[in-house]
């Protein structure tokens, strides 16, 4: 059984539309997938009723912050209808749009001829518009050689046009997922590896850790031992954004045991 519990679509910063993504998954031979777009469930909503022979788990990837740590939380089996998550995602979409205008303002101060409307068009009015869409416009207009170059020169964390993203706290993010009947999982821990901190997050209600992920390779053995010892759920996925994105996040490269999905379903019914 082929499973990937971390995929992105053009509803956030992925390259493929939700429909094109599930067609790709069908061709590859996936049985179960989760569309976990950044701060939106628009992608999942678009294809949830399509009968294509693939089980599609409702999911979302929330951007949260703890002191100096920028962290992502995955919420599986979340209910977006009239839930705290629905209210949060609406606010977050508005804040993302404001951020784009601020980034454009900063770029113009640097002599870059760019308009916010160009970025909205590039994003196809994505529900979670962000810096990758700005980067694509900068590349198309000849201000950067590629996406990485655009981030390094203009919109990366230490670059002159950078504007911080609106984020809530980790505890609040976990609470929103739980109150929306979802299961909170720590995404790609290899990006902020700290086992002591991960264990602390259990006090907030964290249920699991994304063990199988391209950024976790050097930590995998230790992570597996850690989650078993501390009774965390185990999930994983490719974090695929598209064929022109991070090459190590290749769809179909990381496969997840079916037992992990069964454990999620069991947790859902508890």
User: Tell me, what's the pLDDT at 13?
Assistant: 87
Residue 191 lies in a domain: yes
Question: Is the whole-model pTM more than 0.85?
Answer: yes
**Half-sphere CA count of 32, side-chain side, radius 13 A:** 20
Residue 174 lies in a domain: no
Q: Answer yes or no: is pLDDT of 99 > 70.
A: yes
Quickly count: other Cβ atoms within 10 Å of residue 15's Cβ: 17
Taking residues 141-167, report their average pLDDT. 93
Pairing of strands 69-76, 55-66: antiparallel
- Report the number of distinct structural domains present in the chain: 1
Q: Answer yes or no: is pLDDT of 246 > 70.
A: no
User: Tell me, what's the pLDDT at 80?
Assistant: 78
User: Tell me, what's the pLDDT at 248?
Assistant: 73
Average pLDDT score over the chain: 94
Residue 88 lies in a domain: no
Pick the closest to residue 104 from 117, 116, 88 (CA basis).
Answer: 116
Residue 67 lies in a domain: yes
What is the domain range of residue 26?
3-79+183-269
The pLDDT tens digits for 106-123 are 999 999 999 999 999 998
For residues 217 and 232, give the distance between their C-alpha atoms in angstroms, rounded to a whole number.
19
The pLDDT tens digits for 195-204 are 999 999 999 9
Q: Which residues of 56-89 are buried (b: 16+ CB within 10 A; e: fewer)?
A: bbbbbbbbbbbeeeebbbbbbbbbbeebbbeebb
For residues 90 and 154, give the distance between their C-alpha atoms in angstroms, rounded to a whole number.
28
Residue 153 lies in a domain: no
Q: Which residues of 217-256 are buried (b: 16+ CB within 10 A; e: fewer)?
A: eebeeebeebbeeeebbbbbbbbbbbeebeeebebeebeb
Residue 51 lies in a domain: yes
Taking residues 28-53, report their average pLDDT. 95
Residue 69 lies in a domain: yes
User: Tell me, what's the pLDDT at 221?
Assistant: 96
14: exposed, middle or buried (C-beta count within 10 Å: 0-12, 13-18, 19+)?
buried
Taking residues 123-149, report their average pLDDT. 90
- Residue 257's CATH number: 3.20.20.140
Residue 125 lies in a domain: no
Q: Answer yes or no: is pLDDT of 52 > 70.
A: yes
Enumerate residues 6+ apart whose C-beta is below 8 A from 120: 100, 129
Quickly count: other Cβ atoms within 10 Å of residue 195's Cβ: 16
User: Tell me, what's the pLDDT at 249?
Assistant: 84
For residues 39 and 87, give the distance between their C-alpha atoms in angstroms, rounded to a whole number.
11
Q: Answer yes or no: is pLDDT of 67 > 90.
A: no
């Amino acid at each position: 059984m082929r499973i990937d519990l971390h995929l992105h679509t053009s509803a956030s910063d992925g390259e493929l539309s939700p429909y094109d993504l599930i067609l790709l998954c069908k061709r590859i031979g996936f049985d179960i997938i989760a569309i976990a777009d950044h701060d939106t469930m628009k992608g999942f909503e678009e294809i949830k009723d399509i009968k294509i022979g693939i089980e599609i788990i409702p999911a979302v990837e929330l951007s949260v912050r703890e002191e100096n740590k920028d962290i992502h939380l995955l919420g599986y089996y979340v209910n977006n209808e009239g839930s705290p998550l629905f209210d949060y995602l609406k606010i977050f979409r508005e804040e993302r749009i404001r951020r784009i205008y601020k980034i454009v303002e900063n770029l113009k101060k640097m002599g870059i001829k760019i308009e916010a409307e160009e970025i909205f068009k590039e994003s196809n009015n994505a529900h979670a518009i962000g810096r990758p869409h700005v980067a694509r416009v900068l590349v198309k207009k000849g201000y950067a050689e590629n996406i990485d170059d655009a981030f390094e020169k203009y919109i990366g964390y230490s670059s002159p046009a950078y504007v911080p993203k609106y984020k809530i706290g980790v505890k609040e993010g976990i609470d929103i997922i739980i109150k929306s009947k979802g299961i909170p999982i720590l995404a790609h821990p290899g990006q902020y590896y700290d086992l002591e901190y991960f264990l602390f997050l259990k006090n907030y209600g964290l249920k699991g850790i994304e063990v199988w992920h391209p950024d976790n390779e050097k930590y995998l053995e230790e992570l597996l031992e850690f989650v078993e010892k501390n009774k965390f759920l185990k999930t994983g996925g490719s974090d695929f954004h598209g064929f022109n994105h991070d090459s190590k996040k290749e769809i179909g490269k990381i496969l997840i045991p079916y037992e992990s999905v069964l454990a999620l379903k069991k947790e859902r019914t508890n």
